[in-house]
Structure 1
Amino acid sequence: MGEMNTAAISANELVLIMSLVALLGIIGGWIGEKIKLPDVVIYLFFGVLFGPTFLNLVNINAFPVANEIILTFGSAFILYEGGREVKLKVLNEVKVSVGLLASIGVLISAIIVAIASYYALNLGVGASLLLGATIASTDPAALIPIFKKIPIKKKLKQTVISESAFNDAFGAILFTSILTGMTMSQKVGMFKTSLELIFMIVIGILVGIGIALIAVGLTSDKKYGIFHEYLPIVSTIIVVFAYEISERCGGSGYMAVFIAGLVAGNKKKFGLWVPDEDYAAGLCFREHLSTIARMSIFIVLGTHLDVNSLMKYGLPSIIVVLALMFIARPLVVLICTSFDRRANWSKNDKLFMMWVRETGVIPAALSGIIVSTKVPGYEVISSAVFMTIIITLVVQASTTKLVAKKLNVLEDM
C-alpha cells in the first residue's frame, strides 16, 4: 500500500510539474509577443529561473523517463512538422543548394566549431566534434514562425526552411554517430562508421516513406481512407511509429520522422488528399502540439543549465558562437551555393542566407541528451549550446526583417 501511495504522489508531482511547464510556456509566449523577443529565449530564461538553480519549482531531473520523452518525442515531432513545411515543387528548383547546405554544410560547420571549441574551450577532440554536431544545424521551429510574419521571396524562403529541416535530420544523425563512438568501449573505424551512417539514413528514409504513405492513405478521401476523422491522432502515431520502427531497425529515427513529414505534407503529389474539415482539425492539433513541444524542450533545457558552468565557460563560448556565425556560416553558404547554377542566387540572397541561421529546438534537445548521458565535457557543451541559442535567436532572429529589407529580399506587395 505504501508503494502505491508513493507512486501516486510521484505521478501527481509529475502532472503538477508538466502543468507548470505549460503555464510558464503560455506566460513566456505572451511576454515574447509583447516585447518582440523570440519566445524560446523567454522559455530558456524561465527554465533557469524556475528550475533547480533558483526557485526549484520545475525539476524534471527527478523524472528521467518524462525528461527523455520530452526531449526525444518533442524534437521528433518538430522535425516532422519541419518536413511538412517543405514543398517538393519549390525544393526541386533549389535541390542542389539545399542538399549541399544540409549535408556538406553541416559537416563544414561542425568541423569549424569543433576547431574553435578545441582551442577556446579546451575540450577534447571527441567532445569538440560532439559540440560541433550539436549546433551545426539551423532551426525550423524558430525560422518558420518568423517567415510566417515576414514576406521573404518564395524561393529564398523555401530554401532556408528546407535546409533547416533537412540539416536538423543530418545533424541529429551526425550527433548520434559521434555520441555512440564516444560512449562505446570499443573504437570503430572511420569506414565502418561511414557505412553505418549511410545505413541509418537509408533505413530512415524507407521507414519514413512507408509509414507516411500508409497513414496518409488511411486518412485520405479515398475509399480506403477509413480513419480520416481521426487525422489529428494519426499525426502523433506517424511520429511515434516512424521514429521507433526506424530506430529498432538500426536506422535514424530523426530522418524517418522528417521524411514522413515530407511525404505527408506533399500528399497531393502521391494522388492523396483529405477532406477540408479533417485537414483543418489536423492542422490545429499539430500546431498546438508543436507549440507544447517547443515550450517543454526549451524550459527543460533551462532547468538543466549549470549557472556556475555558464559563468565559467560563457566568455570562451561566445568565441565559439562568433566562429559559427561569422566564419562557418558564410563559408558554408559560399561553398554550397556556388555549385547550384540553376538557382541563380544573387549576392543579396547569399548574404541573407548567411545571416539567417538560428540555433534552436533540435540542438536544445540534443544538449539535453548530452547532459543526461554525462559524457566527458557535458557541462561545457551545455553552456556553449545555451549561449549559441541565446545569441543567434536574440541577434539574428530579432533582426531578420530588418536585414531582409536592407538586402531587398522581400516579396513585392
Structure 2
Amino acid sequence: METATTLASEQILQLIAIVMLAGAVFGKLSRKVNLPDVVLFILAGIILGPHVLNIVDIDKYPVGNQLILTFGAAYILYDGGREVDLKVFNKVKFTVILLATVGVFLSTLITGYFAYKIFNIELIYALLLGVIIASTDPSVLIPLFKDMKISNKLKQTIISESAFNDVAGAIITFTILGIISGGTFSLGNSIFNLLKSSIGGIVVGLLAGYVSTKLISQGRIGFLNEYPSELAIASVITAYLLSEKLGFSGFMAVFIVGMVCGNKHFINCKIHEENKITHLRFKEVLTVILRMMIFVLLGTHIDFSILLKYWSQDLLLVSVLIFISRPISAFISITLDRKAKWNFKEIVYMMWIRETGVIPAALIGMLMSMNIKNIDIIASVTFTTIIITLTFQASTAKLLAKILKLDVENIEKINKPVC
C-alpha cells in the first residue's frame, strides 16, 4: 500500500519526467520554426495543462511546482551573476541601480494609472498590477544575451538590471498588499525595507560566494576542488534560504554568489582547468533543464477563459507598458547616470528590452492563493504580458541590435555619448 509520502514523491518524479520530455521536443521544434525556445516551452505547458490535454494539473503538484520555480529562478540568477565582469559592472552600477529602483517605480506609476483608466478598478489595485509586471525576467534575458554579440557594457547592464529589479518589485508589491490589508503607506519604511533586503542579500551572497569559491580553489583550503558543480548548487541553496530566513532578498544573494564565483581572481582564487571545464558543461546543461521546466510549468498556469474575457483591455495595457512605461522609465533612469556615457542607440535598445516571466508569474500564484480582489484582471494582464513580451520583444532583440549596429563589429563606430 502506497503511503502519502511515496505517492507525493512519485507525483513529483512524474511531473519532472513529463516536463523534461515536453521541453526537449518543443525545444527542438523552436529551432525549426526560428522562435525563442521559451515561447515553445510555454506552448508545451498550455497543451499539457488542465485547459487542453489535462496531463499536468499544477494543483496536484504544489510542492514540486514551487521547488522547480524557486530553485530554477535562483540557479539561473546565479548563472547570470557569473557572466558579470566586475570591471565592466563598476562603470554601469549607477545605471543598474537607477533602472532597478527609479525605473521600476516610474513604470509602476505609469502602468498603474493606465490600468486604473482602462479597467476602471480602484487605483491601489491598478498600482498592484503595475508593479507585478514592472520587473524584467533574468531567466529569459540571461540565456538570450549570452549568445548575442553586443558590448559587455550593454549586455551586463541589461542582465544585472533583471536581477536587481526583482528586489524593488517585490518590496513595492508587498507594500501595496500591506495597504490593501488595512495598513498605511510609509515612504521611510519602504525605503528601509528595500535597503535592508538588498544590502542583506548582498552580504549573504558575498559570504556564501567567498566560502564556496575558496573551498574549490587550488591550495590547502580548497579540499573540495574536485566538486565545483556540487558546491555551486549547495551555495545557491544556502544563500537563498539563509537570506529569506533573515528577511533579505534570496534572489539578490544568489546573484551575488554568481558574481563572486565568476570573478574569483579578485579574491586570488583559481581552479584546475579540468574541473572548470566539467563545471561549465554541467552548469550549461542544468540551466537548459531548469529553463525548460520553469516555462513549461508557466504555460500550465495560463487560463484562456480569463484571457479571452479581457483580451482587448489586456492588449491595450501591454502596449502602454511596451511603448510608454518602459521607454519613459528607462530613459529617465539611464540619462540620470551621466558617468556611464551611454550613446543614443544604446539608450534606445535598453528602452525596448523588457521581457516578463517567472517572477511576475510567481507573484500571481501567491495573489491567487490570497484571493485578492480583481485577481482575475491582474492575472489576465500578467499572462498576456508574459506571452507578448516573450514572443514579440525577445524574438526581436537580435534584430534590433543589428539595426542599431550594436554588434561588437560595429560598436567602435558608435562613439558619441549623449549622457
Given the two structures, how large is their TM-score scaled by the length of structure 2? Answer: 0.91
The partner residue of 1:89 within 83, 87, 90 is: 87
Counterpart for residue 33 of structure 1: 31
The partner residue of 1:233 within 221, 230, 234 is: 230
Residue aligned with 1:92, SS: helix
Counterpart for residue 205 of structure 2: 208
Structure 1 spans left out of the alignment, 5+ residues: none
Q: What is the distance in 1 between the residues matched to 2:288 and 2:153?
A: 26
Partner amino acid, structure 2, of 1:238: S
Q: Give CA deviations for 1:332-380 in whole Å, capped at 9, x if unaligned.
A: 2221222222322222111111122222233333333333443333332
Q: 1:348 to 1:190 in 2, by over 3 A?
A: closer
1:292 to partner: Cα distance: 2.2
Q: What is the distance in 2 between the residues matched to 1:279 and 1:208?
A: 21
Counterpart for residue 100 of structure 2: 102
Counterpart for residue 61 of structure 1: 59
Q: What is the distance in 1 between the residues matched to 2:261 and 2:163?
A: 14
Counterpart for residue 72 of structure 1: 70
The partner residue of 2:125 within 127, 143, 147 is: 127
Q: 1:270 to 1:248 in 2, by over 3 A?
A: same
Does 1:265 find its partner at 2:274?
Answer: no
CA contact 1:306–1:379 (8 Å) conserved in 2: no
1:282 to partner: Cα distance: 1.8
The partner residue of 2:18 within 17, 20, 29 is: 20
Q: How does 1:312-391 map to 2 (within 5 A)?
A: 312-391=309-388
The partner residue of 2:220 within 216, 219, 223 is: 223
CA contact 1:212–1:261 (8 Å) conserved in 2: yes
Partner amino acid, structure 1, of 2:141: L
Partner amino acid, structure 1, of 2:9: A
Q: What is the distance in 1 between the residues matched to 2:213 and 2:175?
A: 31
Q: Give CA deviations for 1:199-224 in whole Å, capped at 9, x if unaligned.
A: 22222111111111111111111310
Q: What is the distance in 2 between the residues matched to 1:78 and 1:127?
A: 30
The partner residue of 2:239 within 238, 242, 263 is: 242
Partner amino acid, structure 2, of 1:366: L
Partner amino acid, structure 2, of 1:86: V
Counterpart for residue 47 of structure 2: 49
Does 1:255 find its partner at 2:252?
Answer: yes
Residue aligned with 1:94, SS: helix
Q: What's the RMSD between the two structures over aligned residues?
A: 2.2
Identity %: 42
Q: Give CA deviations for 1:237-273 in whole Å, capped at 9, x if unaligned.
A: 1111111111111212122112222222212112122
CA contact 1:25–1:296 (8 Å) conserved in 2: yes
CA contact 2:171–2:190 (8 Å) conserved in 1: no
Partner amino acid, structure 2, of 1:24: A
Q: Give CA deviations for 1:257-308 in whole Å, capped at 9, x if unaligned.
A: 1222222221211212221222222222222222222222222222122221
Residue-pair matches, total: 410
1:7 to partner: Cα distance: 4.1
1:11 to partner: Cα distance: 2.8
Counterpart for residue 274 of structure 1: 271
Counterpart for residue 399 of structure 2: 402
Q: What is the distance in 2 between the residues matched to 1:405 and 1:188?
A: 45
Q: What is the distance in 2 between the residues matched to 1:150 and 1:200?
A: 32
Q: What is the distance in 2 between the residues matched to 1:354 and 1:406?
A: 15
Partner amino acid, structure 2, of 1:252: S
Q: Which moved more, 1:111-120 or 1:52-61?
A: 111-120
Residue aligned with 1:273, SS: coil
CA contact 2:167–2:197 (8 Å) conserved in 1: no
The partner residue of 1:291 within 288, 297, 307 is: 288
1:30 to partner: Cα distance: 1.0
Partner amino acid, structure 2, of 1:381: I
CA contact 1:321–1:388 (8 Å) conserved in 2: yes
CA contact 2:69–2:358 (8 Å) conserved in 1: no
CA contact 1:70–1:296 (8 Å) conserved in 2: yes
Partner amino acid, structure 1, of 2:147: K
Partner amino acid, structure 2, of 1:341: R
Structure 2 spans left out of the alignment, 5+ residues: 411-419
Partner amino acid, structure 2, of 1:391: I
Q: What is the distance in 2 between the residues matched to 1:331 and 1:354?
A: 8
1:146 to partner: Cα distance: 2.7
1:381 to partner: Cα distance: 2.1
CA contact 2:213–2:261 (8 Å) conserved in 1: yes
Q: Which moved more, 1:386-395 or 1:361-370?
A: 361-370
1:309 to partner: Cα distance: 0.7
1:406 to partner: Cα distance: 1.7
Q: 1:336 to 1:5 in 2, by over 3 A?
A: closer
Q: What is the distance in 2 between the residues matched to 1:285 and 1:176?
A: 36
Partner amino acid, structure 2, of 1:64: P
CA contact 1:115–1:128 (8 Å) conserved in 2: yes
Q: What is the distance in 2 between the residues matched to 1:193 and 1:343?
A: 28
Q: What is the distance in 1 between the residues matched to 2:234 and 2:141?
A: 25
